[in-house]
Amino acid sequence: MDIIKEIQSELVEVKEFPKFGAGDTITVSYKIKEGNKERIQQFQGVVLQRRGSGATETFTVRKMSGNVGVERIFPIASPFIDAITINKKGSVRRARIFYFRERTGKSARIKEKRSFN
């Protein structure tokens, strides 16, 4: 098993992103290729989960587009991710907040984590 991890660490370059977790509101800037053009698109939403480790780690982001919830899974080692910015730190008790999918209105709000610095 260690041999596989060593080979993965040599081949896959993992960028340094800020630390974030479930409940945080983030903006993911990722590159989209359309024909021979390339542009950067923003996807802003709440992180539902982070899973995996190393090169195979992924995170799920959920946003509301109109009245429809849209979820997208991003691999952390993707070369298409340009930047990740944290907009709000959320205070949740779980690592995976799938209950957030059924929430609407006031119950869909996440308390902001208070920082004392």
Query: Which residue ranges make up each domain of the chain?
Result: 13-95
46/21 Cα distance (integer angstroms): 9
User: What is the per-residue pLDDT for 66?
Assistant: 87
Over residues 55-108, the pLDDT tens digits come to 889 999 999 998 899 999 999 989 899 999 999 999 999 999 999 999 888 988
Measure the N-to-C terminal CA separation of the chain; round to a whole number of Å.
42
Indicate the fold that domain 13-95 takes in CATH: SH3 type barrels. (2.30.30)
- The single residue listed with the structure tokens 């945080």 is 24
pTM for the model: 0.85
- 29: CB partners within 8 A, 6+ apart: 40, 41, 42, 81, 82, 83, 84, 85
